[in-house]
Amino acid sequence: MSLFRKSLASFGIGAAKVDTILPHDVLIPGQPLPIEVRVQGGATEQQIDNIHLVLCCRYLDEVTTGRGDSDQRKEKIPQTCKLAEWSLPEAFVIGAQEERQFAFTLDLPFNTPVTIGDAQVWLDTSLDIAMAVDPKDKDTLTVRPEPLMDGVFTALEQVGLRIRQVECEAAKGFALPFVQEFEFVPVSGPFHGRWRELEVVAYRDEQGLQLWFEVDRRLKGVSGMLAGFLGRGELKRELQISADCSPEAAGEQVVAFLDETT
């Protein structure tokens, strides 16, 4: 193969390509994620040192912007969080126009954000090629609630609560640099007229589902639950649901807890 073609491949022209195939359109946190990575050779033979995958999501962080002291203000700026990383340390040579496939299974982390509202989750795949532009592939993922959280959402909907807003925002004290906050409003049922809104933050691990709630009865001026996570006091309403609990029982437990404590 000519030196010219090898030089072009080093700049990404006629180089190997990578494509990640996900057999399932909808993913559930905590469940296995089967993945197939296809590597297609380019115009010339190339050495592939590694295949690297990164599961990412978007969250908002409040940062101070502005150049002068009098012009500084706080803005919510999108940030990228690496939820998990995997590498396939299998160096190999891909021939010209050759195709190779790698099939494996990964675990989707429990606290991968549910893709509702502005939440974004994606998988970056890249080939590590020495002295060359690394080929990349980006796949946007659709993530739905894991069973316990789904049972909670279903129960809240059945008593007349509707999701109004979902945000991933920076927060301290958690394994990840953010939490996903779900904001509900009562449109009917027993909480209509009692509450202005309900904010829910969830954290899932092997032991179960931990939930924090904040109910706002005021007609105006809401500070938001995240104030508690950011140092303005502990949240008072907290509930732990065991991993052994069924989704239906989890929902019933949450509704009863909110009715008794609010």
pLDDT of the residue at 71 = 66
Supply the pLDDT for residue 180.
Answer: 94
Mean pLDDT of 83-103: 88
Q: Estimate to the nearest angstrom the gap between the alpha carbon of 133 and the chain centroid.
A: 28
Lookup: tokens for 20: 């990640």
Going by DSSP bridges, is the β-strand pair 99-107/32-40 parallel, antiparallel, or unpaired? antiparallel
* Domain ranges, ordered by start, for the chain: 3-143, 147-261
Confidence band of 131 (pLDDT split at 50, 70, 90): low
Q: What is the model's pLDDT at position 146?
A: 96
| The predicted structure's pLDDT at residue 237 | 82
Average pLDDT over residues 114-125: 92
Pairwise CA distance, residues 82 & 175, whole Å:
12
Angstrom distance (rounded) from CA 144 to CA 124:
19
Work out the pLDDT band at 132, boundaries 50, 70, 90.
low
Exposed, middle or buried by CB within 10 Å (0-12, 13-18, 19+), for 44? buried
Report in angstroms the alpha-carbon separations of 68 from 64, 65, 75. 11, 9, 15
**E strand residue ranges, the chain:** 17-21, 26-27, 32-40, 46-48, 50-65, 73-88, 92-94, 99-107, 121-128, 136-143, 161-170, 178-186, 197-205, 208-216, 237-242
What was the pLDDT predicted at 221? 45
Mean predicted confidence (pLDDT) in 136-150? 95
What percentage of the chain carries pLDDT values higher than 70? 84
Note the pLDDT tens digit of each residue in 35-53: 999 998 887 888 888 899 9
Percent of the chain with pLDDT over 90: 55
Summarize pLDDT for 213-246 with one digit per residue, the tens: 998 875 444 455 555 554 443 445 899 999 999 9
Q: Is the pLDDT of residue 87 over 60?
A: yes
Could you identify the residue written with the tokens 């991933």?
168
Most confident of 61-75, 105-119, 143-157: 143-157
pTM for this prediction: 0.83
- Name the pLDDT band for 106 (thresholds 50, 70, 90): confident
- Kindly report which listed range (93-102, 196-205, 212-221, 234-243) carries the lowest average pLDDT score: 212-221
Question: For position 144, what pLDDT does the model report?
Answer: 96
> Is the predicted pLDDT of residue 70 greater than 90, yes or no?
no
Q: Is the pLDDT of residue 1 over 50?
A: no
pLDDT score recorded for residue 68: 60
pLDDT of residue 206: 92
- So what's the pLDDT on residue 15? 73
Helix, strand or coil, per DSSP, at residue 40: strand
* Average pLDDT value over all residues in the chain: 84
Architecture of domain 3-143: Sandwich (2.60)
